[in-house]
Amino acid sequence: DGGITQSPKYLFRKEGQNVTLSCEQNLNHDAMYWYRQDPGQGLRLIYYSQIVNDFQKGDIAEGYSVSREKKESFPLTVTSAQKNPTAFYLCASMTRERAGELFFGEGSRLTVL
C-alpha cells in the first residue's frame, strides 16, 4: 500500500541531544513537508521540499535541519538549539498531478526529558 511512514512514533530525548525523525513515502510525490503541532497552536510549517536536493525554510525553521537526498525520504533533525522541542511532528507529501492532494503520516511525538 502506498503511504507515508514516520518513525519512531514516540521518542524521548535528553536536553542537549540532537534527534532525527524519519519520513519515507512511496507515493512518488515530489513535494514533502514537516509540520509541528502543539495544543492550541494548529499546524506550523517547519521545512518543505519541492524537489530532490532542494528545501526551503518554513515559518519555524530555527533549531531544525532537513535533507532531501532521495525523492522518497525527508528526515528532520531536531537540534539542541531548538528551545522547546517537545511536540507532535507530522510529515506530509503532495503532487500536483493529483490535484494537489496532501497526504500525512501518522506522526512522531517527541518528548524532551
Does 101 engage in binding with other proteins (CB under 8 A)?
yes
Comparing CB distances to other proteins, the nearer of 37 and 80 is 37
3-state SS string over the chain?
Answer: CCCEEEECCEEEECCCCCEEEEEEECCCCCEEEEEEEECCCEEEEEEEEEECCEEEECCCCCCEEECCCECCECCEEECCCCCCCCEEEEEEEECHHHCCCEEECCCEEEEEC
Does 100 engage in binding with other proteins (CB under 8 A)?
yes
Binding span for other proteins by CB under 8 A among 19-27, 67-75, 76-84, 90-98: 90-98
State which of residues 22, 50, 67, 80 lies at the interface with other proteins (CB under 8 A): 50
State which of residues 31, 52, 60, 61 lies at the interface with other proteins (CB under 8 A): 31
